[in-house]
Structure 1
Amino acid sequence: AFITKTGAEITISQSLGAGNTPRAYRFARHAIVLSLLGGCLLAIGLLMGRHSLIGFFQLASEDIVADAEDYLFIVAFGVPSIFFNATYFGLYNGFGYSQTPFWANSAGLGLNMVLDPVLIRGWLWFPPLGVRGAALATVISQLIVSLIFLAIARNASSRFHHLLKGFRPNRHFAFRLLKLGVPVGLQNALFACIGMTIARLVARWGDLGVAVQTTGAQIEAICYMTAGGFASALGSYVGQNFAAGKFDRIREGYRKTLLLTSVAGAFATVLFVFWGDRLFGLFIPEPNAMREGGIYLRIMGYPQLFIVLEIMSTGALNGMGRTFAPAACSLALNAVRIPLALWFGAYALAGIWWALTISSFLKGTVITVLLLINLRRFTRR
Structure 2
Amino acid sequence: MTLVKKNIDLLNGNILTSLTELALPIMATSLVQTAYNLTDMAWIGMVGSDAVAAVGAAAMYTWLSSGVAALARMGGQVKSAHAYGEGNRREAVQYGKGALQLALVLAAAYGIITNLFAGPLIGFFHLNSSLVVKDAIVYLRIACGLILFAFIGQTLTGLYTASGNSRTPFVANCIGMGANIVLDPLLIFGLGPIHGMGVAGAAVATVTAQRVGGQIESISWMTADGFGTAINAFVGQNYGAGNLKRVKKGYMTASAIMFIWGIFTTCLLIFGAAPIFSLFIHEPEVIPAGADYLRIIGFSEMFMCVELMTVGALSGMGKTMEASVITIILTTARIPLAVILGGTALGLNGIWWALTISSIVKGIIFFGYYLHIMKRMKA
Q: Is residue 284–residue 290 contact of structure 1 (8 Å, CA) maintained in 2?
A: yes
Which residue of 1 is the match for residue 236 of structure 2?
239
Quote the residue 2:106 is aligned against.
38
Secondary structure of 1:307 counterpart: helix
Tell me if structure 1 keeps the 8 A contact 2:304–2:359: yes
Give the number of aligned pairs. Answer: 309
* Map of 1:110 onto structure 2: 178
Taking the aligned partners of 1:285 and 1:42, their CA distance within structure 2 comes to 34
Q: Secondary structure at the match of 2:217?
A: helix
| Aligned-CA RMSD value | 1.9
Residue of structure 1 in register with 2:270 after alignment: 273
In 2, Cα distance between equivalents of 1:273 and 1:232? 27
Contact 2:259 2:303 in 1 (8 A): no
TM normalised by structure 1 equals 0.77
Matched, 1:322 2:324: no
User: What is the Cα deviation at residue 138 of structure 1?
Assistant: 1.9
Aligned with 1:54 (options 97, 108, 122): 122
Report the Cα offset of residue 23 of structure 1.
0.8
* Deviation for aligned residue 1:288: 3.3
Q: Which residue matches 1:351?
A: 350
Q: Is the alpha carbon distance of 1:124 and 1:17 closer, same or farther for their aligned partners in structure 2, counting shifts above 3 Å?
A: farther
**2-side partners of 1:124 and 1:243: how far apart?**
57
| AA of the residue aligned to 1:369 | G
Task: Tell me, yes or no, if the aligned pair for 2:77 and 2:158 is still in contact at 8 Å.
Answer: yes
Contact persistence 2:82–2:240 (CA under 8 A): yes
Gap change, CA 1:58 and 1:292, over 3 Å in 2: closer
After superposition, give the CA deviation of every residue in 1:107-148 in whole Å (9 maximum; x if it has no partner). Answer: 2123123211111111354211011101111221129x9xxx
Amino acid at match of 1:325: E
Per-residue CA shift, 1:32-66, capped at 9, x if unaligned?
A: 11111111111111121111211212222211111
2:199 partner letter: V
- Alpha-carbon distance in 1 for matches of 2:282, 2:200: 25
Q: Secondary structure at the match of 2:127?
A: coil
- Structure 2 vs 1, CA of residues 286 and 58 (structure 1 numbering), >3 Å: closer, same or farther? closer
Q: Deviations over 1:131-181 (max 9, x none)?
A: 1101111221129x9xxxxxxxxxxxxxxxxxxxxxxxxxxxxxxxxxxxx
Q: How is 1:18-29 mapped onto 2 (pairs within 5 angstroms)?
A: 18-29=86-97
- Assess if the C-alpha contact under 8 Å between 2:231 and 2:254 holds in 1: yes
Q: Read off the aligned partner of 2:372 and give its amino acid letter.
A: I
Asked whether the equivalents of residues 226 and 261 of structure 1 are also in contact (C-alpha less than 8 Å), the reply is no
Helix, strand or coil at the partner of 1:60: coil
For residue 210 of structure 1, what is the aligned residue in structure 2?
Answer: none
Task: Indicate the SS of the match to 1:282.
Answer: coil
Change (3 A) 1:64 1:339: same
Instruction: Give yes or no for contact 1:277–1:290 (8 Å, CA) kept in 2.
Output: yes
Which stretch shifts more, 287-296 or 302-311?
287-296
- Contact persistence 2:262–2:301 (CA under 8 A): yes
Structure 2: unaligned runs, 5 residues or longer: 1-68
The range that moved more, 304-313 or 283-292, is: 283-292
More contact order relative to length (CA 8 Å, sep ≥ 6): 2
Give the equivalent residue in structure 2 for 1:290. 287
TM-score computed with the length of structure 2 as normaliser: 0.78
Identity of aligned residues (%): 40
- What CA distance in whole angstroms lies between the structure 2 residues aligned with 1:79 and 1:282? 28
Would you say 1:221 and 2:289 are equivalent positions? no
User: Structure 1, residues 282-322: CA drift from partner, whole Å, max 9, x if none?
Assistant: 33344433322222222111111100110111111111010
CA distance in 2 between partners of 1:93 and 1:338 (Å): 35
